[in-house]
Structure 1
Amino acid sequence: MESTASDYDYPHENNDEKLVELCSTDGENLLGAQLSTIYYFMFLFSLFGNGLVLVIIHRFEKLTTVTNILLLNLVVSSLMFMSSLPFVGVYKQLSYWIFGEVMCKIVGSVYYLGLYSSVLFLTLLTFDRHLAVVYSLRASQVRNQRYALLSCAVVWLVSGLACIPKMILHKTFSTLIDNKMFCQEHPGNTTSVDDKLRASGFYLQLFLFLLFPLIVIVYCYVRIAITVISSKIVTKFKTVRLIFVIVLLFFICWTPFNIVELIHDDDDDDDDPVIPSCDEKKKRGYAREVTHDIAYIYFCISPIFYTFVGKKFQSYFRQLLVKRFPGLKKHISVSQVSRTNMSTKSTQKSLELS
């Protein structure tokens, strides 16, 4: 959740300290308010796109396969994250929080739970593709429904535990100037517990949700590329192409966001002897607004890749269109893919989306 309050020095317990305006964030707030108008379109588009993926999986596929179970959880985590955007959009446009303290906690928790779980599910999908391609024979004994459900449970558990510091720190407060309510990590005086929670959140995001996924994904795709090139099996290359594009797109969108977030968290560290200038803070504030929106775009456009890049999903989507609008049948080529032709055995050996 982004900060929208102006950056003022809040009252300290020591009344002898002079209150000083540190650096106004009006320009950053104005940019955030202007960009936030697209949040509502992002939410609606994501709702439609991810909903379409859910309909196609339910209508044409089977949830007994590892890939479909992981994809289903990834879609749920994406929808969870996107559900927070309308609240964030209203918050940024009004520049104060109107939904109360309980909703502040809920929206903040859903925001980070969707963010963290999406990162881990993408990492898990990549690792699963690595097992299926590099260790195709031995992996078939491990990659079963129980393995998929247990992996998803672990991801949700880890993501939920990682949200605890953010959920505790996220709270409503009012400024002394205009008594408006804000919803964020309180920028005023903090206790030693708050500092420890903020530090734990900083290192969790750095190591568990940025470096760890990046290392795992790079390693897995290097191994996949070596296997595909050495085997010269074109069909295997096609099966990993879609998730490779999705993961690459994810890190293009999310890496700038994480870097700016980590810089921002580091700036908030009271023990840091280097204090950035006001101009530097403003530049980082603008960068934060832009990288946030780039990151949000990922959740909107990823359903397009699910739906239109994979050949199976293209076929399923055309079938849905023709069934809903029969007049399109003469304009759309539909290749029927029956359930009987998709045995559980074959779907476990190949990626469901290709």
Structure 2
Amino acid sequence: MENITSPFIPNPTCNFSMDLYYHNSFNRSDLNCTPPADYFFYADLYVVLPVIYSVICAVGLTGNTAVIYVILKAPKMKTVTNMFILNLAIADDLFTLVLPINIAEHLLHYWPFGEVLCKIILSIDHYNIFSSIYFLTVMSVDRYLVVLSTVRSKRMPYRTYRAAKIVSLCVWLLVILIVMPFSVFAGVYISPDDTERKSCVLSFPSPESLWFKASRIYTLILGFAIPVSTICILYTMMLYKLRNMRLNTNAKALDKAKKKVTIMVFIVLAVCLFCWTPFHLSTIVALTTDLRTTPLLIGISYFITSLSYANSCLNPFLYAFLDDSFRKAFKKMLECRPA
């Protein structure tokens, strides 16, 4: 059985009823062991983690809702890039909306919300892994096409707001298909020794270790290797074309507005990779080594998880600092209009 909040620990030794390992992944054969006393030393995480998750939830929900509101209400914000930003904000908002349920499970030490909600929550947890990087991949493709058209001094009649809507819908459908296997395996597991002890996990069939590794490889390839490789190739080609532009053409450089948008997309991408790369690197470690579960490893695991969660609340601040049009539109929305 596996839970999304344990990126670093392939097979924890015990399922503890009173400590923070409750969110980690377990094998059924390990459910009856007694927790070592020194693991309770990390009881402070019982308080710290809900506080961190609550801050991420409050900031993310407020910031992403503001982004959605501004883009939908301000006429000048209806651009192709902002359509992708809008969908990215919706995906982040959806994730932050379910964080309170994760906090409740953490504090209660068991899952009280039933089978259906368990599938929904774990599906959204996994959706969060794929949605950001896929929308950023689409934004990188769009930036590459903009740079290419500028270099060649050609227009892009197919690059429209309506086309961006269709592409965004395709991304949603693609990620739903990718996440569907996790939805199938998500469910409530009841401890055989304590029927009151319920956990919302991914319950794989036998052999569980093989299914566990397959799920991690699946996530690593589709959620990191393929999109990140695509993005790196696109930006390398983009920089190459900009560097080798002929000086006697009209496209000596991107105009100011296009350059700012390209820089913004690049920084949003860099922040996303900063937040998610440790998560995926920990997957490689989990697959290639047999680490002993220790309090330090648990602490690192939760730090990595919190860092990946934090990505959902950082993007609105990047837009506010890097996008003049967004900042102006937001200020205009806040202005008190005379009666």
Q: Which amino acid aligns with 2:105?
A: Y
Distance 1:26 1:62, change over 3 A: farther
Report matched runs for 1:110-149 at 5 Å. 110-136=124-150, 137=153, 140-149=156-165
Could you say which residue in structure 1 is the equivalent of 2:279?
Answer: 257
Structure 1 unpaired stretches of 5+: 13-18, 268-273, 327-354
Give aligned-pair identity as a percent.
Answer: 24
Distance 1:198 1:28, change over 3 A: farther
Give the alignment partner of residue 327 of structure 2, picking from 306, 310, 314: 314
Query: How many residues are paired up?
Result: 308
Q: CA RMSD in A?
A: 3.1
Q: Which amino acid aligns with 1:290?
A: F
Report matched runs for 1:49-64 at 5 Å. 49-61=63-75
**Residues of 2 paired with 1:92 and 1:209: CA distance?**
26
Deviation digits for residues 75-99 of structure 1, max 9, x if unmatched? 1111112222111111122222121
Aligned-pair CA distance for 1:290: 0.2
1:2 and 2:5 aligned = yes
Report matched runs for 1:144-183 at 5 Å. 144-179=160-195, 180-183=197-200
Aligned-pair CA distance for 1:56: 1.2
1:104 and 2:151 aligned = no
Could you say which residue in structure 2 is the equivalent of 1:185?
Answer: 202
**Residues of 1 paired with 2:238 and 2:25: CA distance?**
48
Could you say which residue in structure 1 is the equivalent of 2:291?
Answer: 276
**Residues of 1 paired with 2:242 and 2:265: CA distance?**
15
Distance 1:165 1:23, change over 3 A: farther
**Residues of 2 paired with 1:147 and 1:60: CA distance?**
19
- Aligned 8 A contact 1:53 1:307 in 2: no
TM-score, structure 2 length as denominator? 0.79
Q: What secondary structure sits across from 1:2 in the alignment?
A: coil
Structure 2 unpaired stretches of 5+: 7-20, 246-251
Q: What secondary structure sits across from 1:184 in the alignment?
A: strand
Distance 1:198 1:154, change over 3 A: farther
Distance 1:277 1:151, change over 3 A: same
Higher relative contact order (CA 8 A, sep 6+): 2
Aligned-pair CA distance for 1:139: 6.3
**Residues of 1 paired with 2:56 and 2:242: CA distance?**
36
Could you say which residue in structure 2 is the equivalent of 1:344?
Answer: none
